[in-house]
Structure 1
Amino acid sequence: MSTIYEVSKLAGVSSATVSRVMNDSSRVSPKTRDKVLTAMEELGYRPNSIAQSLASKRSNSIGVVISELQGSYYGMLLNEIELTLRSAKKHVMIAAGHADADIEEDSIEFLLQRNCDALILFVEAVSDQYLRDLKKRGVLFTLINRQVEGLESQCLSIDNYQGGYLACQKMIDAGHSRIAYISGPEWKLDAMERLRGHRQALQDNGLTFSDDLYYLGDYTEQSGEQGMEQLAQANVKFTGIICGNDEMAAGAIVTARSIGLSLPEDLSIIGFDDAYFSRFIYPRLTTIKNPIKEIGSVSANRVLNFTYGLKSKHLEYDNKPLLVERDSLLSPKQS
């Protein structure tokens, strides 16, 4: 295995100059950099990442703590984060928090012990104070899908309340007044904000929220199936149903069709997130766009910006939810 000394000898420069090239220092001329890179390639020299970290006091790795590793939402988010960081030649270490405070905290501390230069956090159970204390410790991080007082500049999320309101208002504008709702879990802030927006839209239009037309789901396709089944068995008429995310909407569609309903003629449905599959299911799903990819990209670019000083134009995003109209919404049949 070749050494840094052999590279410096072949390139005709000092070992310190070779180190500066490996650490991407601006203090090296393009001509000298090319000579060193050519020598490294000719000798098959691979820099020792541990040695580089000790020299630069940087590991060039970013830690990511995410709620779950399954589901289209998390897959899209992680993919965009990894692509953005890899394009900047940074490595990613991932841990799942499973919405458990102890696991989330343990995952964060684990990544910090592995000398991650910064963190991207999608955590739902650790306290706001713990996150504020992280900042006081000098930990660099961005926070996804959460707003914490004192950390506003580090937080990225959409207005879930407005998204819930927008979905319900669209259903009402289409002529529906008997509207069922399948929500995400009550311990998730985004789920409850979407529900709160839904209830407010009903109230603003002179309609009453009914517990008979409500099912508490868990954001999975299975809970959408179960919710639709329970609502249908309650013998309370409804012509439209809104789901707290697209996966539950997909499950509700499966059950609705299995009990003989024609969609959207007999039942209109609106989801939330605009997951990649929402345009391919039948009927193609009307939904609220959650800019998942943009948030992943912006979160990673902000980390690159404030950790390594890498400049990027992609540091802002629009947090206003948008309605994506497709085929799953019609005016109700007259009865």
Structure 2
Amino acid sequence: MATIYDVSVMAGVSLATVSRVVNNNARVSDKTRRKVLAAMEALDYRPNAIARSLASNRSDSVGVLVSQLEGPFYGPMMAEIENVLRGAGKHVIIAAGHGDEEQEKEGVQFLLNRGCDALILDVEAVPDAYLVELCQGQTPIVLINRYVTGIDDRCIYLDNERGGYLSTRHILSLGHQKTAYLSGPLYKLDVQQRIKGHQRALEEAGLPFDPELFFEGDFHEGSGRAGMEYFLRLGRAFSALICANDSMASGAIAAALEAGLRVPEDLSVMGYDNVPFPAYISPKLSTISNPIDKMGKMAALWVLQHVYEKTGTSVTGKFMPELIVRDSAQARD
């Protein structure tokens, strides 16, 4: 098995020069770099990753902690993170926190113990104070899908209050005055912000927030169905349903159709997130964009810029939602 010494002899350079080429150090001329790479290829030399990380004080790996691994929401985010980092010669280690404080903290510690050069965190349950303290450590941290005061320069997030406002304002602009609201888990900050935007739109229109026409779901299709069934049992009149994500909207539409309601003729429905499938169901779902894939890309670019000193890319922290008008909501007769 070839060693770094064999490469240095064949290339006619020092061991330090070979090490600089292996670690992609800029202080090597193109001519020398080509000689070393040619020798490595001829000898079939494979640098030891552990030895390389010890030499460079870097592992060339980035830890990513996400809330969950299943569903249509987080896949595009992880794909963009991996695509950007792999393109820069870095690797991704992924852990899941499942929206639980202890599991999120365990996931963070797991990634730190693996010697990751930086962490990209999508966390929901850990408190802000924990994240502020974490950012004071040696490992650079960037947050995705969350804003924390005091470390705002490390936050990649969506203006969810505006998203909730846009969703409800669109429904009200169609003439609907009796609306039901299907929420996500209330402990989540983005859920609270969407509700705040919903209430602001109602207040501007001079309409009250009706706590009876409110159901807390869990962001999955089953809770969308359960929420719709609850509203129907309640027996209260409403002409529009505003949902905190597309999956719950899909479940709610299924339950409404099974109950004999027509969408949007009898019931207008709004979603949130603009994941891929709502554009293909019938009726096509009106929703709010949540560009989680672009936020994932931006978090990866933040790491390249702040950790690996890759310049030339500007990093945007705050993303603005957009209204996506399709077929599931129509004007009230």
Equivalent residues in 2 for 1:68-217 (5 A)? Answer: 68-217=68-217
Aligned residue for 1:272, secondary structure, equals coil
Which residue does 1:285 correspond to in 2? Answer: 285
CA distance in 1, matches of 2:317, 2:264: 33
Q: Which amino acid aligns with 2:82?
A: E
Segments of 5+ residues of structure 1 without an aligned counterpart are none
Aligned-pair CA distance for 1:211: 2.3
Other-structure match for 1:226: 226
Q: Match of 2:322, as an amino acid?
A: L
> What is the identity, as a one-letter code, of the residue corresponding to 1:171?
I
2:135 aligned counterpart, secondary structure? helix
Taking structure 1 as the reference length, what is the TM-score of the superposition? Answer: 0.96
The equivalent of 2:240 in structure 1 is 240
**2 CA distance for matches of 1:27 and 1:211?**
65
Distance of 1:102 and 1:180 partners within structure 2: 34
Task: Note the C-alpha offset of 1:67.
Answer: 1.1
Aligned to 1:50: 50
User: How many residues are treated as equivalent by the alignment?
Assistant: 333
Q: Please tell me whether the aligned partners of residues 184 and 219 of structure 1 are also in contact (alpha carbons under 8 angstroms).
A: yes
Alignment partner of 1:324 is 2:324: yes
Distance in 1 (alpha carbons) for counterparts of 2:331 and 2:308: 53
Report Cα offsets for 1:73-98 as digits up to 9, x if no partner: 11111111111111111111111111
What is the distance in 2 between the residues matched to 1:284 and 1:9?
Answer: 66
Q: Secondary structure at the match of 2:215?
A: strand
Alignment-derived partner of residue 315 in structure 1? 315
> Percent identity over the alignment?
49
Distance in 2 of aligned mates of 1:109 and 1:212: 42
Deviation track 1:173-211 (CA, whole Å, cap 9, x = no partner) reads 011111111000111111111011111211210112212
Deviation at 1:312, TM superposition (A): 4.3
Greater mean alpha carbon deviation, residues 126-135 or residues 82-91: 126-135
* Residues 31 and 301 of structure 1: CA distance in aligned 2, closer, same or farther (over 3 Å): same
CA drift at 1:250: 0.9
Output the amino acid matched with 1:6: D
- Contact kept in structure 1, 2:158 and 2:321, CA below 8 Å: yes
SS at match of 1:201: helix
1:59 aligns to what? Answer: 59
Asked if 2 retains the 8 angstrom alpha-carbon contact of 1:294 and 1:317, the reply is: no
Secondary structure of the 1:136 match is coil
Q: State the 1:212 CA deviation.
A: 2.6
TM-score normalised to structure 2 length: 0.97
Distance 1:30 1:41 in 2: 16
Partners of 1:323 and 1:299 in 2: CA distance: 24
Letter in 1 for 2:330: L
State the alpha-carbon separation in 1 of the partners of residues 316 and 80 from structure 2: 15
Worse-superposed segment, 15-24 or 48-57: 15-24
SS of structure 1 residue aligned to 2:311: coil
What secondary structure sits across from 1:9 in the alignment? helix
Distance (Å, rounded) in 2 between the aligned partners of 1:317 and 1:123:
16
| One-letter identity of the residue aligned with 1:39 | A
Whole-angstrom CA distance in 2 between matches of 1:303 and 1:162: 27
Instruction: Identify which range, 10-19 or 294-303, moves more after superposition.
Output: 10-19
More deviation, 17-26/126-135 = 126-135
Distance (Å, rounded) in 1 between the aligned partners of 2:36 and 2:240: 66
Q: Deviations over 1:246-293 (max 9, x none)?
A: 111111111111112221111111111111112111111111111111
- Give the letter for the 2:88 counterpart: A
> How far 1:313 sits from its partner (Å)?
2.1
- The residue type equivalent to 2:165 in the other structure is Y
Q: Any stretches of 5+ residues in structure 2 without a counterpart?
A: none
Counterpart AA for 2:273:
D
Q: Distance in 2 between matches of 1:209 and 1:199?
A: 6
Q: 1:122: how far off?
A: 0.8
